[in-house]
């Protein structure tokens, strides 16, 4: 073909194409099935029957038994129901179980709702409950949180709507963990990963489409036992960058975002009267983990001195812009076990210098770094690079420590590298955090018990071990409270952890989103009663 005719064909095609485009209309489809977050600020008239949510990461798997990331949790809160639901102050409330009783400390009997069906129309029964928990405690099933359900010895079906849990030993925290979504036995049994990609639950929303790394679309479950949700469509958009996610909220592409957020964005949004910002106490804390086996840090006085060099107020007010508040002990303010009287270590360089001196560390060679027996006081401060706030805190602390005679090296790596270092005990001081502390047992047994699974710093204290064990097996809350408060006092005094910050939970949403109630755990269950108004 010669070039000339080639060009003419191209030209004619372009002409036809533009003529065609000229004949087209431009209007937003009545039911916007594209589900895309366009800059559609121009919808006048009826309010949009869709809520758009911005999330930071995509879900890994949607099977609630296997999920461990928060996004999967945000999905299962809407798609599934647990036997119980945790209230805003972490007390168990009825979910799929109408009521429960404990005839003896190792037995729990749950009476289930009879009016519940799964999204595929199958009725929900005690068999589903048994199946869910049987698989959770089955070692071959590889459930990430299997250890939480470890006290369960067996689950028996009493009748269609009654189920009996038998425990190995009394376990106080277990009830708080029974909010995990109940999966349908008839689908789960097939063992074909269906639930990982196409969750079928009993919850207020059904998942209709999952575009990996992009968006997750839901539709209201009209037959929901708790009443049909106010808004028909719900979409989670995955926007990894904190700043971009907030920018999308500002441009109206999404309606609601929540933690993790950049502190500086929160301040700006607060000043904008188009948006609502809710700050509540979260369920986590950020702490410095001291490696008790480190040759220098094994000295309690050195640990205490370093704790005195940590200015939690500055970190909270400047780096976190008040989003997270200065921490005191491993008991979080949102918990019923919180003890205000444990105050931790105040920022006091003079006291720190005195303690260093008591421990034998002095600057004998005039290089402004402390030393002892010819050895320099040198430590490495590590954290993970995914969290910019922690990175900043570490850089700030490096400056403070060095200024006060502790030569500090900073090591920030990606989470997998960092967490491997932690579990191998390959760190000096690590800045890290705990999330989802629905029960104090979560922040004591594994982190501080001599045999605790995540006792990275190899902390060991017989008294503390005993207190933690008692806390786990005693059912009376007032008693448990005193055990945990005693343990918290000891681990704080001995600087196993220096709890830096209590994490706040923040949600920011457009004011035309009405009826949303927040939850310290960040639950989106409250979205079922929310709607977009004009």
Q: Which of residues 391-410 bind other proteins (CB under 8 A)?
A: 391-392, 394-396, 398-399, 409-410
Select from 280, 446, 460, 473 the one that contacts other proteins (CB under 8 A).
Answer: 446
Among residues 142 and 341, whose Cβ is nearest to other proteins?
142
- CB of residue 332 to other proteins, shortest distance in Å: 17
Q: Of 262, 291, 485, 492, which one interacts with other proteins (CB under 8 A)? A: 262
Among 26, 89, 99, 373, binds other proteins (CB under 8 A): 26
Smallest distance, Å, CB 226 to other proteins? 30
d(CA 204, CA 529): 10
Tell the smallest beta-carbon distance from residue 213 to other proteins (Å): 4
DSSP of 167-211? ESS--SGGGGGTTSPPPPHHHHTT-SSHHHHS---SSSEEEEEEE
> Which residues between 42 and 81 bind other proteins (CB under 8 A)?
58, 60-61, 66, 68
Collect all residues with Cβ–Cβ distance below 8 Å to 472 and sequence separation of at least 6: 171, 172, 173, 441, 445
The residue whose two tokens read 């910050």 is 501
Nearer to other proteins, 277 or 410 (CB): 410
Stretch that binds other proteins, among 26-34, 281-289, 335-343, 501-509 (CB under 8 A): 26-34
Strand partners, 290: 429
510 binds other proteins (CB under 8 A): no
Site for other proteins in 195-214 (CB under 8 A): 196-197, 211-214
Question: Which residue, 162 or 196, has its beta carbon nearer to other proteins?
Answer: 196
Residue 358 phi/psi, 5-degree rounding, is -60, -35
Dist. CA 207–CA 260, nearest whole Å: 24
Task: Please count the other Cβ atoms lying within 10 Å of the Cβ belonging to residue 482.
Answer: 16
Task: Kindly give the pairing relationship between strand 205-211 and strand 50-55.
Answer: unpaired
Size of residue set near other proteins by CB under 8 A: 86
8 binds other proteins (CB under 8 A): no
Partners of 71 in beta bridges? none
Alpha helix (H) residue ranges in 34-184: 70-79, 126-136
Residue 192, interface with other proteins (CB under 8 A)? no
For position 349 contacting other proteins by CB under 8 A, the verdict is no
Residue 221 touching other proteins (CB under 8 A): no
Distance, CA of 333 to CA of 369 (rounded, Å): 37
DSSP string, 202-221: SSSEEEEEEETTTEEEEEE-
d(CA 346, CA 408): 20
By beta-carbon proximity to other proteins, the closer residue of 341 and 451 is 451
Question: Smallest gap, in angstroms, from Cβ of residue 251 to other proteins?
Answer: 5
Taking the complex as a whole, the smallest distance from the CB of residue 179 to other proteins amounts, in Å, to 16
Residue that is written with structure tokens 């129309």 in the block: 121
As measured in angstroms, the least distance from the Cβ of 405 to other proteins is 16
Tell which one of 153, 223, 267, 511 touches other proteins (CB under 8 A). 267
Q: Which of 420, 463, 477, 533 binds other proteins (CB under 8 A)?
A: 420
- Pick 68 or 153: Cβ nearer other proteins: 68
Please classify residue 18 by burial: count the beta carbons closer than 10 Å to its beta carbon, then call 0-12 exposed, 13-18 middle and 19+ buried: exposed
Q: Does 490 bind other proteins (CB under 8 A)?
A: no
């Amino acid at each position: 073909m010669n070039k000339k005719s080639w060009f003419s064909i191209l030209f004619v095609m372009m002409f036809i194409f533009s003529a065609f485009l000229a004949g087209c209309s431009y209007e937003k489809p009545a039911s916007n099935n594209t589900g895309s977050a366009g800059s559609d600020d121009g919808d006048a008239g009826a309010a949009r029957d869709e809520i758009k949510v911005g999330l930071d990461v995509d879900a890994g798997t949607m099977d609630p038994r296997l999920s461990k990331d928060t996004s999967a949790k945000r999905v299962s809160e809407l798609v599934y129901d647990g036997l119980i639901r945790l209230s805003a102050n972490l007390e168990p409330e009825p979910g799929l179980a109408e009521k429960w009783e404990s005839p003896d400390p190792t037995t729990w009997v749950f009476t289930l709702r009879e009016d519940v069906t799964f999204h595929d129309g199958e009725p929900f029964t005690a068999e589903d409950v048994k199946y869910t928990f049987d698989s959770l405690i089955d070692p071959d099933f590889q459930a990430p949180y299997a250890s939480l359900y470890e006290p369960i010895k067996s689950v028996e079906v009493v009748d269609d709507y009654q189920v009996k849990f038998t425990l190995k030993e009394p376990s106080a925290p277990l009830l708080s963990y029974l909010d995990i979504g109940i999966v349908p036995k008839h689908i789960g049994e097939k063992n074909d990963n269906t639930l990982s990609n196409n969750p079928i639950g009993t919850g207020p929303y059904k998942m209709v489409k999952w575009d990996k790394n992009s968006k997750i679309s839901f539709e209201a479950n009209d037959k929901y036992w708790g009443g049909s949700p106010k808004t028909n469509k719900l979409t989670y958009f995955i926007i990894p960058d904190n700043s971009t996610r907030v920018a999308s909220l500002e441009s109206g592409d999404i309606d609601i975002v929540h933690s993790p957020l950049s502190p500086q964005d929160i301040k700006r949004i607060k000043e904008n009267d188009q948006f609502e910002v809710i700050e509540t106490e979260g369920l986590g804390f950020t702490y410095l983990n001291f490696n008790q086996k480190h040759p220098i840090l094994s000295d309690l006085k050195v640990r205490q001195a370093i704790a005195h060099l940590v200015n939690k107020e500055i970190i909270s007010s400047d780096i976190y812009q008040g989003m997270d508040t200065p921490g005191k002990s491993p008991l979080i303010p949102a918990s019923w076990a919180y003890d205000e009287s444990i105050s931790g270590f105040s920022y006091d360089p003079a006291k720190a210098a005195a303690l260093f001196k008591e421990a034998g560390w002095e600057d004998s060679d005039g290089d402004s770094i402390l030393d002892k027996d010819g050895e320099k006081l040198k430590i490495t401060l590590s954290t993970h690079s995914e969290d910019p706030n922690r990175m900043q805190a570490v850089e700030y602390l490096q400056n403070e420590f060095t200024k006060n005679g502790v030569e500090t090296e900073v090591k920030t790596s990606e989470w997998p590298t960092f967490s491997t270092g932690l579990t191998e005990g390959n760190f000096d001081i690590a800045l890290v955090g705990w999330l989802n502390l629905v029960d104090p047992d979560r922040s004591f047994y594994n982190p501080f018990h001599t045999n605790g699974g995540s006792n990275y710093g190899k902390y060991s204290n017989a008294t503390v071990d005993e207190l933690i064990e008692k806390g786990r097996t005693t059912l009376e809350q007032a008693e448990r409270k005193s055990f945990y408060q005693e343990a918290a006092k000891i681990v704080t005094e001995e600087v196993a952890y220096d709890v830096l910050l209590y994490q706040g939970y923040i949600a920011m949403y457009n004011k035309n989103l009405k009826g949303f109630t927040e939850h310290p755990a960040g639950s989106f269950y409250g979205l079922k009663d929310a709607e977009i108004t004009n």
